[in-house]
Structure 1
Amino acid sequence: MSSLLTPEDALERIVSRVRVLPSEQVQLAAAANRVLAEPARALVDLPPFPSSAMDGFALRAADAPGVLAVVGRVAAGRPAERPLAPGEAMGISTGGVVPEGADTVVPLEIAVDRGDSVEVPDVSYGDNVRRRGGDIACGEVALAAGLELTPTRIAALAACGVSRVSCARVPRVAVLVTGTELRTPPDELREGEIYESNGVMLEAALTRAGAAVDRVGVVSDDAVEHREAIARGLEADVLVTSGGVSVGPHDLVRKVEAELGVEEVFWGIAMRPGKPLAFGVRGDTLVFGLPGNPVSSLVGCLLFVVPALRALQGAADAGWRFLPGLLAAPLRRNAVRDDFVRARSVWGAAGVTLSPVSGQESHMIVRAAAADALVRVPRGEGELPVGATVGYLPL
């Protein structure tokens, strides 16, 4: 066990072998979850003009309090036809251009609208006026390179007038599942066979992480079939295999990969589930060998393959994104390995409470399906008590 890598060391070795993919121009509307390869700059001041933050009346602060003549009404997208003179006011909608000569907006709620005049209280200069460029000035960096384009960030760039962005190319991932015992629904099962679930699971997880996935297929425990399928998978940016990475007589993946020129960087991580995970490279292709048990395969994918995909796209932070939560039940720690426990999360006044699901064995994918969180139990002595703060990944 002492020769096994910690999860942190394993991730560090993976990221160190990543070569960022080339960039390409992408329409902003199609850039969700992509990673910026270059800084994105504002093409306009934002706001592009002084605008009203409220429905109300635009006026000069020096004219308040008092009764002012209403000489116009300004709607969003329809600026005033002339400047505002002293002693005048204009009705204005939220987002409307504050007319030249005005410096303040009085909300409707505290004004008395008399139609052709308005009574306003005392105000402060600049109240409820969004100054031009108050959010960002034209030419400034709106988003730095390495940031993932979340919905909020896409909205920010659209507001800045950006229509195209430079992003790293979408990673191409080949998924290969091994095992003579595997069948695909709705094929009838014979004695000793099980339905294959890892391929569809990994494809879903990797697609959600922003990859373009090619299902190489399912191969039996035959060296020739392995060689043909792995050779095809090595043409992708990332090859992910499931099964066949342990030390049994039918575990052929690592042997065949070595014959095909894959340099094995490590095999084995001090964690459960997912201990016999292998990682290697051939050229710029990253090669992950995940265990065959479905929960082990899922955990390995989330902890190591998904961060590698972010690193391939140049993400500024490709590491784990554990969120804090509170244990609803005690969990015993292991002295030499980290455990990753499937749990249900519940939001409450104290934050997120995490309840481990029953059935933590690595083959119990149906039990795992009841979970929405992956809780990390760090290696150490004793147990984590009820109420202990732990990190978790949303599933």
Structure 2
Amino acid sequence: VSFAGEDVKKGELVLKEGSFIRPAEVGMLAALGKENVMVRRKPTVGIISTGDELIEPGGRLEEGQIYDSNSLALSSQVAKCGGTPQRLGIVRDNKEELISRIQEGLSFDILLLSGGVSVGVYDLVKEVAEEAGVKILFWKVAVKPGKPTFFGARNHTLIFGLPGYPVSSMLNFENLVRPAIYAMLGRKEKRVQVEAYLESSVSSKGRRRNFVRVKLTRKKGEYRAVPAPSQKSGVLKSMVWADGFVVVPEEIDEIKKGEKVQVQLLD
């Protein structure tokens, strides 16, 4: 026997603005007789990888080539936080080809550009984006990894130039792009954090905010944070291995073993 008001009472707020509609929310809306509800449109996100060295996964690697992992990882990250990703392919280090593909990407709500954002001879992305009419709002971020990053806009499109190193690309997505997608969706969720004790000391130099990948273990009912063996920005395995990251503020040079830290979970 179910009593009136046992599930939902008259006047009770069931779903707040910005709620993510999962299967339970769909069922709840149906149970309330709601045939239609107002929702935010999922932002569309175009993704371009740049570099002469890149080829699609599945192809035969020649000397000096690597597989394009960034666009696939970014595509998964976009989908996971509620956007609609579309990979726009690999663009060579050629200004004409790059400007054409960027102009195509400006039809999306967000455009992600991976690679070519540093200061080398073949790092053309920022320069070409400006030629395509993108207003650069900042370039270079005081974080580690991920310093060579830019953000700009043109009309209603937000443009993020992310580093070519895979860890830098993924972490700057989490810290910069994900909040932008959430804002477009009206979502207000914060990243889940847990307290843990550091299993080995970590250092941070250069006055940049350092995002240290860690794995969580349990010991005597408490979480322990084990730093990844390598914190290099090209070691993608560290992102597979890690449960989250510890943020070391730019004014701190070292956090010693045994100190309590906040671990921001990646999932």
Q: Which residue of 2 aligns with 1:311?
A: 183
Aligned to 1:323: 193
Mapped to 2, the partners of 1:158 and 1:345 lie a distance apart of 39
Task: Please tell me whether the aligned partners of residues 360 and 368 of structure 1 are also in contact (alpha carbons under 8 angstroms).
Answer: no
1:164 to 1:348, Cα distance in 2 relative to 1, 3 A:
farther
Q: Which residue of 2 aligns with 1:253?
A: 125
1:175-214 alignment runs, 5 A limit = 175-214=47-86
Farther-moved stretch of structure 1 (160-169 vs 346-355): 346-355
CA-CA distance at 1:159 after TM superposition: 4.2
Give the superposition deviation at 1:154.
4.5
Contact kept? 2:244, 2:263, Cα under 8 Å: no
Distance 1:149 1:349 in 2: 38
TM-score by length of 1: 0.62
Indicate which of 205, 223, 233 corresponds to 1:362.
233
TM-score normalised by the chain length of structure 2: 0.90
SS at match of 1:176: strand
Give the alignment of 1:52-201 within 5 angstroms.
96-97=1-2, 132-150=4-22, 153-201=25-73
Structure 1 residues without counterparts, runs of 5 or longer: 1-95, 98-129
- Structure 2 residue 152 is matched with structure 1 residue 287: no
Shift of 1:346: 2.5
Alignment of 1:34-53 (within 5 A): none
Contact 1:334 / 1:380 at 8 angstroms: preserved in 2?
A: no
Identify unmatched segments of 5+ residues in structure 2: none
Instruction: Pick the structure with greater CA Rg.
Output: 1
Distance 1:340 1:151 in 2: 34
Answer yes or no: is 1:274 the counterpart of 2:146. Answer: yes
* CA RMSD of superposed structures (Å): 2.1
**1:379 pairs with one of 243, 250, 256:** 250
TM-aligned CA distance change 1:323 to 1:262, over 3 Å: same
Deviations 1:319-353 (A, max 9, x none): x5140231222222446211111121224554432
Q: How much has 1:153 moved relative to structure 2?
A: 4.3
The percent identity for this pair of structures is 36
Q: Are the aligned partners of 1:280 and 1:288 in contact in 2 as well (CA < 8 Å)?
A: yes
Residue correspondences, number: 265
**For 1:309 and 1:148, how far apart are their aligned partners in 2?**
13
Query: By how many angstroms is 1:241 displaced?
Result: 0.6
The one-letter code of the counterpart of 1:162 is K
Residue 200 of structure 1 and its aligned partner are, at CA, apart by 0.9
Distance in 1, Cα, partners of 2:9 & 2:180? 35
